[in-house]
Structure 1
Amino acid sequence: MTRWDIFIKETEGGIVATYRQRAWDIAKEAYGYVTTKDATRAGIPAIELVKLAARGRLRHVARGIYRFDEFPATKFDQFFEAVLRVGDDAFLVGDAVLSLHDLALVNPRRIRVATRRRRRGKLPTWINVEQSDVPDADVTSFEGIPATTVARAI
């Protein structure tokens, strides 16, 4: 029996997953990231993410955002993280959309992220936030990352 086995409960229906396993399942769909909001929706108390980070099983990225570093890096990670850092209604705009789609020879130094509401708080210098009232019809998702349509970005 390992020290992690104490977090696994056996029931009549089988084995109940640990908090780490449940967080991992969320992260599989999100480039290795898990937010406290998503974790709470999945029945994982927010404090459990803090504990996993303290044990080195998860990396704290920003307030309410964690990442499993075991996930291989992709070209989409930074775009996804930028949107997470800005907030729930955030989406990529402009050259960030073109770069996301590999449609132009652009590699923006700053990822442009828009939101419909005012955003407070400090963000890394590589994120440029702008407030925008883009219609819902012009916001889509590419590889699970909210972004304006390519036509809107151009």
Structure 2
Amino acid sequence: MAVVPSSTNLNDWDYWDYRRRLWRDMDLVDWDLPYWKRLARFNSSPDLSRVIVGKDGFEANVDVHPFKPYEIQVKTVGDTVVVEAKHDKRRDGDNYVGRHIVKRFVLPRGFYPNDVRSELTSDGILTIKCPPPAQVERSVYVRQVGLPYLSIKN
């Protein structure tokens, strides 16, 4: 059972208006904080990377559009794929801008790091692919024993 304010003076619309005002005012709670703490609430560069593991294998997409192809490096360390993109400080108007990102993806069990391939699209999306491990079929030798099963069981 929900707790609802009860008053003979409130109708249903007043209750919903109260809830709307409450949520609106909660957004203003941190405005008395210094500006650097308020900015922490807003993510100016959301992580656009995406990982898919399916029947087609492993696939990871990373947005590296601010970087040129020669500034991007993809390498494997053990069962981990490491994507590193870096460009040194360069002049951007009145400022100097330098960027450096590092992303690590762990390959699922059974995937081979030597099979990892990467592609860069014209809009700056780096796609890392690794095919699924091959299903190995093998024959199992059938050995015939001298005693029948029923005599072994008793």
Higher relative contact order (CA 8 A, sep 6+): 2
Please state which structure has a larger fraction of its residues in strand.
Answer: 2
> Which structure: larger Rg?
2
TM-score range, shorter chain: under 0.3
Please state which structure has a larger fraction of its residues in helix.
Answer: 1
Q: Could you state the TM-score of these two structures normalised by the residue count of structure 2?
A: 0.24
Q: Could you state the TM-score of these two structures normalised by the residue count of structure 1?
A: 0.24
